[in-house]
Amino acid sequence: MNTENKTRRKFIKNTIAGTAALSMGGVLSGFSPKSYRNIVGANEQFRVGVMGVNSRGLALAKNFALQPNAEVVYISDVDSRAQAKCIDAVGKIQNAKPKGMADFRNALEQKDMDIMVIATPDHWHAPAAMMASEAGKHVYLEKPASHNPQEGEWLVETQKKYGNVIQMGNQRRSWPNVKEAIQVVHDGEIGNVYFAKGWYTNNRGPIGKGKEVPVPDWLDYELWQGPAPREAYRDNLIHYNWHWFWNWGTGEALNNGTHMVDLMRWGLQEKYPTVVNSVGGRYRYDDDWETPDTQVINYEFGNRSSMTWEGRSCNGRHIEGSSVGVMFYGDEGSIMIGGGNAYKIYDLKNNLVKDVKNDVKIDPRNKANPSQVLDGMHFQNFFEGIQSGASLNAGIESGHISTLLCQLGNISVRTQSTLHTDPSNGHIKGNKKARKLWSRKYEKGWKPKV
């Protein structure tokens, strides 16, 4: 390990232990100063495999390698170039290079792996997490939890069946100032909070109209598609643009909206809605992009509260001075949480009455690694859940609910209908057309099983 990475590991160790113990106190649920010291000083090394390492997965692999109580032992990717790059990057951070296993199913068979980190395209999230659970592995699952609501329910059932630990990548639930802001909402500092607004903005360019071309020799396209019905390979699909195709992706609502919808639901202390309505479309460019580039989703929770999420993939004008964020509105004031580990409180006359600053640089538009040090705190919560059964900040049941809310928004916009939903489980009432999108078709032989 080179000197720079040794220093960075020490910095992360000190950040996790020192900052948490000395300044956060009880802000981080389930973590006392003693438990933080125990985690960081623990002899146990969590042995980690990472699946899908082209972008976000590469950042996750490096960040897990930087954790003082983890070692990345396997890297799996259908892109041989991405796999080799990640192996090399991780090897420069820790004492040993991880082994490459292109097919993650082979990695799941290895006894010297405790955790599978999943950062694949969305259509693989739930199926891979279910397979890892069955193989006896704990799972760190990037958002969204699933490609469709049925998969989310299957995944929750699978976790209960095997009793493993699954942490979803809603990492803001472990950021100290964000947690503090939500607690401020819960404590009534802005009175009765009855409405929340979240947003995401960007300036994404066109993806063009793809041409069918031979599959590159560096790509296992059959395994990349996995459970999804087969489509011919096109030159504008891999790596990032799959987000905008319904067969593999879930659009901006789940790509980035999941984070803000999760924060809003957390702050309002709501689970499943009673009404969901969404409008939007692909307005900016004439290309192959199928999901909305502009979308608004509205949620009602009985007569208690409501919330809305606005996504603009192709116009990056900020809201409240931030490219991404959440605002909570109460009868005595408002609280703004932007893209970082910070928040502001305003009174009803729009006066700023409290400004809690962020001391860690965050770039919410960074596709791969917007918040490395803060995300380490989310990993440590995951580790403690494995070690001692501590409460997870973003367990899979919570992650499924937040994912489902975004999926309901997509179902609404795709069917051009208002959805009335069961507040006990989020299921769609009536509306046969919408209910057809609750699940999906699978390639023969690839359907997940609980």
Same domain, 231 and 275: yes
Within a domain: 448: no
Does the residue 98 lie in any domain? yes
Residue 237 has pLDDT above 60, yes or no: yes
Does residue 157 surpass a pLDDT of 70?
A: yes
Residue 434 lies in a domain: yes
Q: What range does the domain containing 205 cover? A: 175-210+219-371+397-438
One domain for residues 193 and 246: yes
Three-state secondary structure of the chain:
CCHHHHHHHHHHHHHHHHHHHHHHHHHCCCCCHHHHHHHHCCCCCEEEEEECCCCHHHHHHHHHHHCCCEEEEEEECCEHHHHHHHHHHHHCCCCCCCEECCCHHHHHCCCCCCEEEECCCHHHHHHHHHHHHHCCCEEEECCCCCCCHHHHHHHHHHHHHHCCCEEECCHHHHCHHHHHHHHHHHCCCCCCEEEEEEEEECECCCCCCCCECCCCCCECHHHHHCCCCCCCCECCCCCCHHHHCCCCCCHHHHHCHHHHHHHHHHHHCCCCCCEEEEEEECCCCCCCCCCCCEEEEEEEECCCEEEEEEEECECCCCECCECEEEEEEECCCEEEECCCCCEEEECCCCCEEEEECCCCCCCCCCCCCCCHHHHHHHHHHHHHHHHHCCCCCCEHHHHHHHHHHHHHHHHHHHHCCCEEECCCCCCECCCHHHHHHHCCCCCCCCCCCC
Task: For residue 450, tell me if it sits in a domain.
Answer: no
Same domain, 167 and 266: no
Is 160 found in the same domain as 189? no
Predicted TM-score of the model (pTM) = 0.89
The answer to whether position 445 is within a domain reads: no
pLDDT digits (tens, 9 = 90+) for 341-388: 999 999 999 999 999 998 766 565 555 455 778 899 999 999 999 999
Q: Say how many domains are in the chain.
A: 2
Same domain, 201 and 168: no
Tell me, yes or no, whether 155 and 132 share the same domain: yes
Q: What is the pLDDT of the chain when averaged over all its residues?
A: 91
Whether residues 265 and 356 fall in one domain: yes
Q: Is 168 in the same domain as 231?
A: no
Name the pLDDT band for 44 (thresholds 50, 70, 90): confident
Give residue 312's pLDDT. Answer: 98
In a domain, 364, yes or no: yes
Looking at the structure, tell me whether residues 238 and 342 fall in a common domain.
Answer: yes
Q: Which CATH number goes with the domain that contains 431?
A: 3.30.360.10
Convert the pLDDT of each residue in 416-429 to its tens digit: 999 999 999 999 99
CATH of the domain at 152: 3.40.50.720
Shared domain check, 308 and 202 = yes
193 and 80 co-located in one domain: no
Q: Are 226 and 136 in the same domain?
A: no
